[in-house]
Structure 1
Amino acid sequence: MRPPVPRFVRWAVALAMVVALTAAVFQYWGTSQYGTANVHSTAQDTGWAQTPWGPLGPADRDLLVMVRQADLCGGSSGRQAQRQGSSAAVRAVAKRTGVDYGGLDSQVRSVAGRLGVPLPDQPTAQQQSWMRDLSARSGPDFDRMFAQRLRVTDGAMLPVITSVRAGTRNELIRSFAANASVVLSRHMEDLEGTGLVDYSRLPEPPPPARAAAAGPPAGLEQHVDQVVNATSASPTGRAPGGNVNATAAMVLIAALLVVLCLLGSTGRRVRRAGCPQHRGGPHRRRHAAQRW
């Protein structure tokens, strides 16, 4: 008969099994939070990335960069107009736009930091050229150029922002774009209220038929659909990996129950093996002695 296994050995083996199962379950749990394993390479190839707030696409990144550079240009020009503006209306508008651009810049840096999007620290080359031209003006000429150029910039940005707002899959980008569109619309109204905007020099809007026919670039829909279908949030607002998390927890609990059952059955077998067995020999000998 084999000697019984010591209790501390059984518990050591059980503890090792629990640790191994826990590590395996949580490793699977962590890698299955967003269910993107099947389309990970496709997401990287097309510039898409998964975030806790939904997929982040190239248009989302471009929006953050565009707003950041507009904030750098508009904020600097607004401060300059507060000093050099020849009319009280222009100085008042410059003060309001400067405050708005400062708040918008804080928001874009916060959103970009949470999403891991690098931002530039300088305006575009065209914006820098415009800022140099503005610095060379004075008097009413400065006022007209400030109002006109800033109105053109805001008018060009607004359709891009509303387009991203309408189609983004990312919750942070959606909220930021909605707020940015409100700010720019207010800027345009303030600039137009100065009476210095020449509407005949504004870019013509594209015809509705052309805008509708343009659509997204060829091949973009397929990649976007793959990413979104694999990572879309549930209607209840829970994380996309909620079902996987529940399954992993159930597997871990079942494994613990199996280990505990094995420990209990092993202990019972050891106790049964150690109990003395009654044999019929002594009884037969005692009966034989009684006959004598």
Structure 2
Amino acid sequence: MTDKSREPMSSSAEDRKDRRQRERLAELTRSFKKDPKDFVQKVEQACPVGTPPATALLDAAVVLAEQDEFKPALALLDRAIALYEAKHDNAGLAHVYVNMGPLYGMLDEMEKGITFSLKAEALAKDLPADPELTLHYASDLGGMYTEMEEWDKAMHYFQVACTTSKSMGNKDLETDALLIMSQVAIAQGDAAKARELAEKGGALGKALHDKLFQARALQTIGDASALDGNHEQAVVLFQQALDLEADQPDLDLRQQLFWEMSESYEEAGNKELAEDYRSRAADLDETDEDMDEPDDSAD
């Protein structure tokens, strides 16, 4: 019989062990700039007993990436590549590549990031089906191609992400992918396709009782109306989106909607309201800056 009273203690011990490992990793990371090779070697030597070094390096890189330590993370992944290649472990390589792609993207090295994500895709085709891996590289490639304004490729990979999410039964990710695709369609100048995708995403968002998804859908439908030259209707839709956002606040979305309201009012000839919404959007920049400032009141 399992002694349930011991389970929290075991869990707590695991938490402490994980915390110590993270603290040790943070300590080692401070030496990265001074000697990157020594940093990688020390992380490899510190890998937990029973964990293959390549796996430990990959895990450590993921932790560092979450802390925005992109260059140290990439250094660890470079070493993991060598170890996985030596073992002819394509599954391991695929997981390294799929993590390297977005890291280079975060460093504004989009072409390099795309190259690594495409390597992950190529390897995945010869591996057992792994929806999480597919979703990872497809979402990343969609995002990076969006940054490059290569809309057709972005649409393709977001469609892969959408289809994969649906097969996994993940309605949230499916909805998000549909709404991102709707914005790509706007960038392509295809109002009808954008509206169709947004309506699908909005319907799923409503079923999920998620007002932000619904607001994003209305935003795209408003964009489609603006694209068609119907700025009065666009303003109505943007306002409906703002009403939904107010119940589930998202400052980034609110600012986007303010800018779009401003543009539509400008196109409709209402200079006063256009300026009003421009000011509201600009004010949110100041709000973000205030939120980013450290709170010294507790000192």
Q: TM-score, normalised by structure 2?
A: 0.24
TM-score with structure 1 setting the length: 0.25
Structure with higher Rg: it is 1
Which structure carries more relative contact order (alpha carbon 8 Å, separation 6+)?
1
